[in-house]
Amino acid sequence: MNPKLELFSQGEEVVTGQTVDTNAAWLAQVCVNLGFMITRQTAVGDKLEDLVTLLNEIAERSDCCICTGGLGPTSDDLTAQAVAQAFSLPLEFDPVAFEQIERFFLKRKRAMPEVNRKQAYLPKGAQRIDNEWGTAPGFTMRYNDCWFVFLPGVPSEMRQLFDSFVRDHLGKQFSLKPKQLVSLKTVGIGESDIQTSVASIKIPETVQLGFRAGVDHVETKLLFPHDYDQVLMTELIDAFAANIGDFVFSIDRPGHASGDLVNVVDRLMQRQQQKAVFIETLSQGLLSAKCVDCNWLIEGAYYPDIQQLAGEFGLKENDKDLLAVAIAEKIKHQKKVDLVLVQFHQSDRSMIRDKNIAIEISTALLTPHGMLQVKHMISGPAQRKQNQSAVLALDTLRRYLQLHH
């Protein structure tokens, strides 16, 4: 059985919802991938008695605990004090930690407030984790049969300390056999339709199937045992991909993360050395914004209505499909690019704002192989319609590129 790990977040702001606990979410995902079984996630406010009680409980039931927060210099930062009380260990001054804290302020040409001296006191026997990104050193120690790790609550500092120290030490402390997670990422198909499409596939009892719906895509997750046969794994992944079809834009495998839809399109565009221009309506520039770091996007423009753009080219056409084709051809000739994507719709603003009204969004993609036109029905509040129109337009480009790579 994989070792049991608990996550423990300290801070009144986390308990009351003033701060979203991104630390626990990040740590849970990383530690599951390393081979731990996450048994609990707990948040406790700034109450010494509650912290002491929880630490003693964790020491009795878990193999490992990672605690975030409560290592700051102020009176509500109680983690080190709670550890000292729970495990009957005095706090001892660490001169190296103190020197590091002083140096942090000296580099910024600031005087160190006296309250920061508190951060240099660690429980006796604890191993310090140096913090080069802030003033709060972390520390680690074993009590009973549980290995405790205490990290600062600032997410950027927490992640740096985890990656620079904790990750390697977890591998030394525990015999880890991580399960193998495969994620098929899709656009344009919902969870229920995916489940229907794969219902005929026989899934071994040792493999777990799950789904995760995000803002831009849906993930179909297959969790395999550590020692699962690689040939059988590939066969099952291929069966899922075949049944779901070209809605799948990428597959994450153990040790290989393919990224999001933008990452996939970016790699395809660079590999094929193509350039593009985007003309947006409903997405209102969001499509171009998603590709802000992509040097293959030569130009992006937003127009409230495609007919307004047509007027600039002196084009007159009642059929918006034909109008989009004419506009794309004009732009391709002017800009000397490989691909021109024109997005348009036939809805007024009241329809866009009404979450109960579904509207049709059209994407015309002019390519060296001809014109590709795709239509989708999208619904929900205005912001969802905006995002969906951008994602579906980008997916149209992805499908073309994968077909002609």
Handedness of CA 204, 207, 210, 216 (dihedral sign): negative
Alpha carbons 78 and 8: distance in angstroms, whole number: 13
Q: What is the pLDDT of residue 309?
A: 76
Helix (H, G, I), strand (E, B) or coil at 284: coil
Tokens representing 334? 């002017």
d(CA 187, CA 205): 28
Q: Which of 26, 24, 27 is nearest to 43 (CA)?
A: 24
Question: For residues 341 and 365, is the Cβ–Cβ distance under 8 A?
Answer: yes
pLDDT in tens, the chain (405 residues): 789 999 999 999 999 989 889 999 999 989 988 889 999 999 999 899 999 999 999 999 999 999 999 999 998 889 999 999 999 999 999 999 999 999 999 988 898 899 999 999 999 999 999 999 999 999 999 999 999 999 999 999 999 999 999 999 998 899 888 889 999 999 999 999 999 999 999 999 999 999 999 889 999 999 999 899 999 999 999 999 999 999 999 999 987 888 999 999 999 999 999 999 999 999 999 999 999 999 999 999 998 877 777 787 777 767 778 888 888 999 999 999 999 999 988 888 889 999 999 999 999 999 999 999 999 999 999 999 999 999 999 999 999 999 987
Length of the chain: 405
Please give the pLDDT value at position 360. 93
Residue 284 CB neighbours (<10 A): 16
| Interhelix angle 382-403/261-272, nearest 10 degrees | 40
pLDDT tens digits for range 100-130 = 999 999 988 898 899 999 999 999 999 999 9
Please give the structure tokens belonging to residue 133.
């990104």
CA dihedral sign of residues 297, 302, 306, 309 = negative
| Per-residue pLDDT, 405 | 79
Q: Give the pLDDT score at 317.
A: 67
Q: What is the pLDDT of residue 238?
A: 97
Asked whether 359 and 351 are in contact (CB, 8 A), the reply is: yes
The residue to which tokens 């997405």 are assigned = 283
- Cβ atoms within 10 Å of 219's Cβ, excluding its own: 18
CA distance 139 to 80: 9
Cα–Cα distance measured from residue 391 to residue 247, given in angstroms and rounded to the nearest whole number: 13
Tokens of 14: 């986390």
Determine contact, residues 167/189, Cβ cutoff 8 Å.
no
Backbone φ and ψ for 67, nearest 5 degrees, come out as -110, 135
* Number of CB atoms found within 10 A of residue 20's CB: 10
